Amino acid sequence: MQRYGVYVGVAVLLVVNIAVTDNFLSAENFRTQAVQVAPVIIVALGMALAIGTEGIDLSVGAVMALSASVIALYLGYGLFGALLVVALFAAAVGLANGALVALVGVQPIVATLALMVAGRGLAQVFLPQLKDVRNPDMATLGSGDLLGIPYLIMIAVALTLLVGFTVKRTTFGRQLLAIGDNRRAAQLSGLPVTRVLILVYVASALLAAVAGVLATARLGASDPSSLGNLMELSAITAVVVGGTPLTGGQIRIAGTVAGAVLIQLLTATLIKHDLPPSWTQIAQAVVIVLAVYAARGRRKR
């Protein structure tokens, strides 16, 4: 159940919704759920990389907000130019996180907490209030599709496959897992621990930036004050519920995706049955507690 419980949870929620939720099996509903969960999946992929090294990245929500503000400010130079600037800002945040963790020796939770606060503040300095994003390329990115499949879903699937391949089939992925399993042993073995850790946090920030851009494109507006709020908790929950232990050394990409889907289905179920937002927050808190308890069980074994 610790390894496959997330799939059981998704299956149970699907069965419950099929039985009690009107129009749940409609194609439009599945499309909506998939589009809404895509940014969570993308952020959770980066979080999984950080947790795989026995770290964590609390700055992902702030990076989403920062990306939203930067893309709104630089769209006048064209979508490609704006995306390049977003990537540079996100890479700078990831580089700062990685340097604090790998070079200075700051605990990941402290280092990324500092960037979480600073990144959100910087985003609101750049864009103090909500701003409409009126750009045909952004509109296409947010609402367009290919053969009926939204671009947001296609991007999330492509990034999932890319991260999964990186973790399972590349030297970088094996080094990442070795560092998470035992950093000291990895150093003594001659692995490039500093470089790998910095690249992990840069990758996490870039993935969060992608999620921020996609969320902005879908909404058609940039709101740095609210975009990405509590996203770090959703991403951590998705990763841990999906079977990746907080102690590092393992990453379960498929489980992470299933964890994100579980959170989305749970939230959607409560909303569709007219329960207040407070119940949604309570339900997510329960899932987080269960996820941490499951991680504790895996560590003890």
User: Rounded to an integer, what distance in angstroms lies between the CA atom of residue 201 and that of residue 106?
Assistant: 14
Mean pLDDT of the chain: 89
Q: Is the pLDDT of residue 161 over 80?
A: yes
Q: Between the ranges 30-34, 154-158, 286-290, where is the mean pLDDT highest?
A: 154-158
Q: Is the pLDDT of residue 287 over 90?
A: no
> What's the pLDDT score for residue 20?
84
The partner residues of 149 in beta bridges, in order of sequence, read 146
Q: Is the pLDDT of residue 36 over 60?
A: yes
**Cα separations (Å) of 274 from 20, 178, 278, 285?**
13, 46, 11, 19
> What's the pLDDT score for residue 294?
65
For tokens 């750009």, the residue is 135
> What's the pLDDT score for residue 130?
84
Q: Is the pLDDT of residue 148 over 90?
A: no
Structure confidence by residue, pLDDT tens digits, 192-221: 999 999 999 999 999 999 999 999 998 888
Among 8-12, 22-26, 91-95, 137-141, the minimum mean pLDDT is found in 22-26
Alpha helices in 21-128 (DSSP H): 27-52, 60-74, 79-99, 108-126
173 and 179 Cβ atoms separated by less than 8 Å:
no
Contacts 24+ apart (CB under 8 A), 73-76: 73/126, 73/127, 75/133, 75/135, 75/138
Mean pLDDT, residues 113-139 taken together: 88
Structure confidence by residue, pLDDT tens digits, 255-272: 999 999 998 888 888 888
> What's the pLDDT score for residue 78?
87
User: Rounded to an integer, what distance in angstroms lies between the CA atom of residue 52 and that of residue 199?
Assistant: 13
**Residue 154 pLDDT grade (very low, low, confident, very high; cuts 50, 70, 90):** very high
Q: What is the DSSP string of 121-144?
A: HHHHHH--S-EE---HHHHHHHH-
Q: Is the pLDDT of residue 297 over 60?
A: no
Q: Report the relative pairing of strands 131-132 and 221-222 from DSSP bridges.
A: antiparallel
For tokens 């042993």, the residue is 185
In the chain, the percentage of residues whose pLDDT exceeds 90 is 54
Q: Is the pLDDT of residue 300 over 60?
A: no
Mean pLDDT, residues 65-89 taken together: 92
> What's the pLDDT score for residue 296?
62
Q: Is the pLDDT of residue 4 over 70?
A: yes
> What's the pLDDT score for residue 225?
84
> What's the pLDDT score for residue 91?
96
Structure confidence by residue, pLDDT tens digits, 37-61: 999 999 999 999 999 999 999 999 9
> What's the pLDDT score for residue 299?
47
